[in-house]
Amino acid sequence: MKVLKRVIPVLLMAVVLLAGCTPTAEETDTPPESKLRESGDVYSVYSGEITTINYLVTSTTAEFSVAANVVDCLVEYDHLGIVRPALAESWEVSDDGLVWTFKIREGVKWYTYQGEEYADVTAQDWMDAARYLLNPDNASATANIFYSVVKNAEEYYLGEIDDFEQVGVKAVDDYTLEYTLKHPVPYFLSMLTYCPFMPANGDFLEEVGDQFGTDHTKILYCGAYILSEWRHQDERIYEKNENYWDADNIHIKKIVSRYNKEAATLAPEMFLRGEITGATIPTASLDEWMNDPEKSKMVRPAETSFYSYWYTFNFDPNFPDEYEPENWKIAVNNKNFRKAIFHGLDRVSALLTLDPYEPERMLNNTITPKNFVAAGGKDYTMIGDLAKWTASDSFDPDLALEYRDKAREELEGKCTFPIKVMMPYNTSGTQWANESQVVEQQLEGLLGEDFIDIIPVGFPPTGFLNATRRAGNYALQNCNWGPDYADPETYTEPFYPDGTYNWPEKATDPAYLLEDGRTVYQKMVDDAKAEVLDIERRLELFAAAEAYVIEEAWVIPFRVGGGGYVATKLEPFASPYAPFGVSSLQYKGQIVMEEPMGMEEYKAAREKWEKDRAAALEAEAAAGR
Amino acid sequence: MLKYSIKRLLQSLVTVFIVITLVFLLMRLLPEEGYFGDGYDKLTPEQRENILRKFGLLDPWYIQLRNFYSSLLKGDLGKSIIYRPDVPVIDIIKLKIPFSAAFGLAAICVSLFFGLTMGIHMARNKGRFWDKVWSSYVVFINAVPAAVYLLFIQLYITGLKFRGRSIFPMLFNRHDPRSWILPLISMSLGGIAGYALWMRRYMVDQLNQDYIRLARAKGMSDKQIMVKHVMRNAFVPMAQYLPASVLLTISGSIYIESLYSIPGMGGLLVDVIQRQDNVMVQALVLIYSTLGIWGLFLGDILMAIFDPRIRLEKREGAR
Amino acid sequence: MSQKEQQVIQAIEDEALFTFAEYDPEAAERVGYSDYSYWGSTLKIFLKNKTAIFLLALMASLILFTTIQPYLPNQKSPTKIHVDPATGHPLRNQKPSNEYWFGTNVIGQDLWARIWSGTRTSLLIAIIVGIWEVGFGIFIGAVWGYVRQIDAFMTEAYNVINNVPTTILLMLLAYILRPSFRTMVIAMCATGWLGMARFVRNQIVIIRDREYNLASRCLGTPTSRIITKNLLPYLVSVIVMRIALSIPGTIGWEVFLTYIGLGLPIDTPSLGNLLNEGRQVMMAPALRYQLVFPAVVLSVITISFYVLGNAFADASDPRNHY
């Protein structure tokens, strides 16, 4: 308990310091009103229409990106990724780490889509939101995130208790909110920036009933913007909420988004004609832009996401006999066999199908991506054994051939060669199909067609994952996972027993099993999960578990999501930065620049940002030691 | 005729009933995973169950079917479950239909006018220069994939500039009539080619008929022959398709609407099928099939009016 | 009585102009005999059309070429990814050159080989589906149109099948069978004949009550004979045109199926696959060749079949025979 007691105030102090220092410095230099920077409006086109803006139900990024800009959370992240107060002015946590008390900002109001005042934002709104969220009839897709930490919430959701008063969320008075957790959660603050922890006005919920969030007139606004118009598959218009508590940090006054099913194809051209503020440049036309002296000045990389992709070895094959599942079962349980493929996969070649210009940028050498969490001023991927993997590329043809020879020796007589490797892909797009062909030919070329026979098999998008990964109907497959909260624990779920990924608990290697029936990996994760007070220690334990998965070649870490290239006038590194939650989707702090940023400029800006962030993290850490 | 019409209308109810029931059952054959989208792995089994319960998918299929029909009898098409959760289907489509219908009807008028004119022009100049010019157009439109030439039209024509300003905006804007022109043209191109081809074909066919020779022989002017004989006969097969295509304009054009961002019905059905929004699928199929069947029926009637030789009903003595 | 008429009467009366011929049995036989043969005349007229002959030769050689292309020297595999020996990375987006005649695609496969392989696949699908569509469609359509007793039932069945959205059937089919050549053919055959059947039915409804059919019926001609001898020949020209249109139609369908993820698997390139891939790079002028080459080959094929169909339709119309 002692450590938590120490960590939290430190966080608080850092936050207060950061929040306190910056404005004071500026106040002395310039008059306060100039803090509001000049910015044009944002015009954009999008192709994926959202289905709802009911932020208490949805779990889709596109949908909660609306909520991110129109409803505020208790806390938020600044552009360096440091937690700052938002609707909560301050907070404290009990000695046992179970009770979190938030002091709600006074004077914040709910507005209708026409900008009319509806009510005050009070602590009751978080209770009402929770009540809505935990009502099974509303079928919220994020309720589990809430009830995985808040006391009695799961019991209430499952109908085991009827009394909502027993659920660990309580409005002590109008401006004091108290969460009681079922166990100490060191990353609780990060969870607060996700939609299930957003407020909602109870009277309004009652008023609109099941129509909550079905369109822009059916929600209330307390965030930086008001969605003044939303015509489905047509147009969305956000207008700045002039009464926003932090209005000085909102520079963009209006955001107009037009729907276009072919947006991906048309956007670059529309950007060149000045009709929109920014566009993603499709992979196919990237060379075109990069080789054009004028256009190349406007392109810059887009940020990668925290979705992590890896090629996964299946330990519980369940595919048709034509792909020889029994043979695969013997082969996959041979570590040298896995290592041969692990070191044989030329990930850069495969990535060229996605990013032909700078594929290395999207490479991910670990399961948890870089910049996700840090402790003691050190990024998680640089802790312990993970540092070794982070520092090097897994592709090593010589090593791969060495492992191949060993594997062949050990498997000779037990397996039939070539070993068939069934590799499913989704037929809905061309990229995955292309990647599969590249991987097939590259691996077979290196390891020999007499050793392995990679067989890409196309499955339609209808029920894709249920037909392939979840059914164990694959030998090797590109799988992915996105984080649910800012802690490495979230990336252990796929490999933990009862996952639906590759069932390493069914591996036959006796070295993987402990006497108590648990697997070695399970124990490592359990131990790490139990460490809730010493954050540094916690991350070390998780890093060890993750390094174990990589060392044993259960998966081949491949890439992160997002990425690609954009031509945009939107300022990078000015909006909130967060590995998880809604903060990073906000326009807060951003401006529309006169000219788009080019490659070099972007790199310089990125370097500066990384330095600033490292300093900020260190300051935070140092203040605590 | 009246008795026949009533019989056909009653029959259409039966057809629609069978179609809807079939679609209802087919949709339930699709995998359950489809109802959860990408978030499947992040949901607990209880959540999945609650979501299915909310959609009414936990009941046995016959209960679901009964519920569907009982609310349909009350005039309730239901609420969307995935496309726009909890929004009544009627509210969704009533915003979209006007756009599709307006563009569709305008395109039918444009293509009928230009198509028929072109067809007549071709038939009259059969084998000569203009016939060949228009034929190349027809061949081009029919043979080159629409996906390609439509995209090229948008790409190049919207790039045209007059005194430094684009003449045609790239996207549809309800307040700017200039932006209505290109979608309308794109939508009519195929229709013009189609009507022109039919018109030419039938005109050429009819011009070879004996009764035309007779009309010529008895000294009717070409114009009279055209209007009184050829046009009328050539119109008969077209009459069959016209009502259905007018009624089905509300279903919109998948490709053009998406290209120009017209917020119409185009592609809605494919979209909701792929997202497995059962309620939307059922409602749309109900509407489209009703209109389609009525269109066919009206087409038969129209055809019988234009060509008295066609008998739709079984008559005494006929086999 | 006008002067002109008087002149005519006078001429008739003038015996010098008209003399009696002697009866000649052989000559009488010749008048009653006609060397008119329907298919012979059709062929004769068709052969007069120079464009059609040219296109026919073109298509024949194209089909021959796609069949033997893989066995010609210096041909590359359509699925092999070519790798740059210097960097070890795929040779992506290579412009057309001596080595790669049509360039390479976004992952470094030879476009020339892909286009011919794709043409082979697509033509094969189009032909199989076309034959089925014509055979089955005409059969159903003819019976439906002529036999009044089943008209109500057939119309009902048509309405039902026609109104169940094809997308649902295709999704279910792909879900059950997985995308493959076979699935594609089954999917297209399952729905493709409907249009043809409806078309034939309407044509037959239009002409079934014409006097000559009535006469046949009075004479007790069996239904099957009336359909095959009286009705179908009349329809040959329009049906042939329909077939010509069904080949571009089938290929268009294939593009759509590929678009919604129910297309052919990657190891079988098709014109639909290639167009879809090309469409994604069409905004980049330097890469537009990846769209243009398949689009041109596709257009040549579809335009040829189209013009051929029209020429044949014209030739097969007995009223154009002389």
| Cα-Cα-Cα-Cα dihedral sign, residues A276, A277, A283, A288 | positive
Strand A254-259, strand A42-46: pairing: parallel
**Complex ipTM value:** 0.77
CB contact under 8 A, A433 and C282: no
**Position A587 confidence tier, pLDDT thresholds 50, 70, 90:** very high
Distance from C261 to chain A by nearest Cα, in Å? 4
Interface check C291 vs B, CB under 8 A:
yes
Residue C74 lies in a domain: yes
Alpha-carbon dihedral angle through residues B137, B138, B143, B149, given to the nearest 10 degrees = 50
Residue percentage of chain B with pLDDT more than 90: 11
How many whole angstroms separate alpha carbon B258 and alpha carbon A46?
12
Closest alpha carbon to A456 in A442, A476, A471: A476
**Mean per-residue pLDDT for A572-594?**
89
pLDDT higher for A62 or C262?
A62
CB contact under 8 A, C179 and A460: yes
Q: Domain with C189 in it: what CATH number? A: 1.10.3720.10
Q: What SS3 string covers A177-188?
A: EEEEECCCCCCH
Q: Identity (one letter) of the amino acid at A261?
A: K
Question: How many A×B Cβ pairs under 8 Å?
Answer: 104
**Mean per-residue pLDDT for B140-169?**
76
Domain tally for chain C?
1
Interface check A141 vs B, CB under 8 A:
yes
Instruction: Report how far apart, in Å, the C-alpha atoms of B116 and of each of A625, B195, B231, B305 are.
Output: 86, 6, 10, 20
Instruction: Report how far apart, in Å, the C-alpha atoms of A319 and of each of A252, A328, A463, A468, A480 are.
Output: 53, 10, 16, 9, 20
Q: Residues 6 or more apart from C127 whose CB is under 8 A from it?
A: none
Kindly report the number of other CB atoms within 10 A of residue A174's CB atom: 13
Interface check B53 vs A, CB under 8 A:
yes
Q: Which of residues 164-223 of A touch B (CB under 8 A)?
A: 210-211, 214-215
**Mean per-residue pLDDT for C155-170?**
82
Q: Identity (one letter) of the amino acid at A367?
A: I
**What per-residue confidence (pLDDT) applies to A364?**
92
In the DSSP assignment, the letter for residue A377 is T
**What per-residue confidence (pLDDT) applies to B308?**
75
C206 pLDDT exceeds 80?
no
CB A452 within 8 A of CB A341: yes
Closest alpha carbon to C118 in C150, C90, C79, C84: C79
Residue percentage of chain A with pLDDT more than 70: 94
Tokens 């330097």 sit on residue: C286
- Helix B178-207 with B231-247: angle, nearest 10 deg: 140
Phi (first) and psi of residue B100, to 5 degrees: -65, -45
Interface check B258 vs A, CB under 8 A:
yes
CB contact under 8 A, A60 and B46: no
Which tens digits make up the pLDDT trace of B81-127? 888 888 899 998 998 899 999 999 999 999 999 998 998 888 888 88
Point out the least confidently predicted range of A70-79, B247-256, C257-266: C257-266
User: Helix, strand or coil for residue C243?
Assistant: helix
**What per-residue confidence (pLDDT) applies to A116?**
92
**What per-residue confidence (pLDDT) applies to C35?**
66
**What per-residue confidence (pLDDT) applies to A266?**
79
Cα B284 to chain center, whole Å?
13
Residue C225 lies in a domain: yes
CB contact under 8 A, B33 and A465: yes
How many whole angstroms separate alpha carbon C212 and alpha carbon C219?
11
CB A315 within 8 A of CB A333: yes
Interface check C64 vs A, CB under 8 A:
no
- Contacts with A288 from chain C: Cβ below 8 Å: 283-287
Which tens digits make up the pLDDT trace of C261-308? 677 876 678 888 888 788 777 767 778 888 888 888 888 888 888 788
Interface check B83 vs A, CB under 8 A:
yes
Per CATH, the homologous superfamily of domain B1-319 is MetI-like (1.10.3720.10)
Closest alpha carbon to C118 in C135, C105, C132: C105
Which tens digits make up the pLDDT trace of A299-317? 998 888 899 999 999 999 9
CB contact under 8 A, A441 and C80: yes
CB A362 within 8 A of CB A304: yes
- Contacts with B44 from chain A: Cβ below 8 Å: 144
In the DSSP assignment, the letter for residue B316 is T
**What per-residue confidence (pLDDT) applies to A50?**
86
B230 pLDDT exceeds 80?
no
Tokens of residue A602, six digits: 């972007």
Candidates A348, A360, A462, partner chain C, best to mutate (most C CBs within 10 A): A462
ω into C233 cis (within 30 of 0): no
How many whole angstroms separate alpha carbon C277 and alpha carbon C294?
10
CB A591 within 8 A of CB A38: yes
Instruction: Report how far apart, in Å, the C-alpha atoms of A181 and of each of A83, A151, A184 are.
Output: 20, 5, 7
| Euclidean distance between the first and the last CA atom of chain A, given in angstroms as a whole number | 17
Instruction: Say how many residues make up chain C.
Output: 322
Report DSSP letters for A355-375, one per residue.
Answer: -SS-GGGGB-SSSSPTTS-EE
Q: Identity (one letter) of the amino acid at A227?
A: L
CB A133 within 8 A of CB A146: yes
**What per-residue confidence (pLDDT) applies to A20?**
36
Closest alpha carbon to A219 in A82, A83, A357, A113: A113
Extended beta strands in A105-168, E state: 109-111, 117-120
**What per-residue confidence (pLDDT) applies to B316?**
38
Distance from A1 to chain B by nearest Cα, in Å? 31
C169 pLDDT exceeds 50?
yes
Point out the least confidently predicted range of A166-170, A365-369, B26-30: B26-30
**Mean per-residue pLDDT for B287-292?**
88
Closest alpha carbon to C156 in B285, B26, B16: B16
A477 pLDDT exceeds 70?
yes
**Mean per-residue pLDDT for B305-319?**
59
Residue B28 CB-density burial (10 A; 0-12 exposed, 13-18 middle, 19+ buried): middle
In the DSSP assignment, the letter for residue B308 is T
Report DSSP letters for C85-128, one per residue.
Answer: TTTSSB-TTPPS-SSSTT-B-TTSBBHHHHHHHHHHHHHHHHHH
Distance from B310 to chain C by nearest Cα, in Å? 6
In the DSSP assignment, the letter for residue A416 is P
Q: What rounded mean pLDDT belongs to chain A?
A: 87
pLDDT higher for C89 or C189?
C189
**What per-residue confidence (pLDDT) applies to A18?**
37
How many whole angstroms separate alpha carbon A587 and alpha carbon A249?
10
CB B136 within 8 A of CB B193: no
The CA R_g of chain B, rounded to the nearest whole Å, is 25
Q: What rounded mean pLDDT belongs to chain B?
A: 83
**What per-residue confidence (pLDDT) applies to A5?**
39
Alpha-carbon dihedral angle through residues A517, A521, A524, A529, given to the nearest 10 degrees = -90
**Position A122 confidence tier, pLDDT thresholds 50, 70, 90:** very high
The whole model's pTM is what?
0.80
**Position C40 confidence tier, pLDDT thresholds 50, 70, 90:** confident
A23 pLDDT exceeds 60?
no
A163 pLDDT exceeds 80?
yes
**What per-residue confidence (pLDDT) applies to C33?**
61
Q: Which of residues 274-303 of A touch B (CB under 8 A)?
A: 275
CB contact under 8 A, C255 and B145: yes
**What per-residue confidence (pLDDT) applies to A16?**
37
**Position A541 confidence tier, pLDDT thresholds 50, 70, 90:** very high
Q: Identity (one letter) of the amino acid at C92?
A: R
Instruction: Say how many residues make up chain A.
Output: 625
**What per-residue confidence (pLDDT) applies to A4?**
40
- Contacts with B84 from chain A: Cβ below 8 Å: 51-52, 214, 232
- Range(s) of the domain holding residue C201: 39-320
Residue ranges per domain, chain B?
Answer: 1-319
Chain C residue with the nearest C-alpha to that of B145: C252
Phi (first) and psi of residue C202, to 5 degrees: -65, -40
| Euclidean distance between the first and the last CA atom of chain B, given in angstroms as a whole number | 19
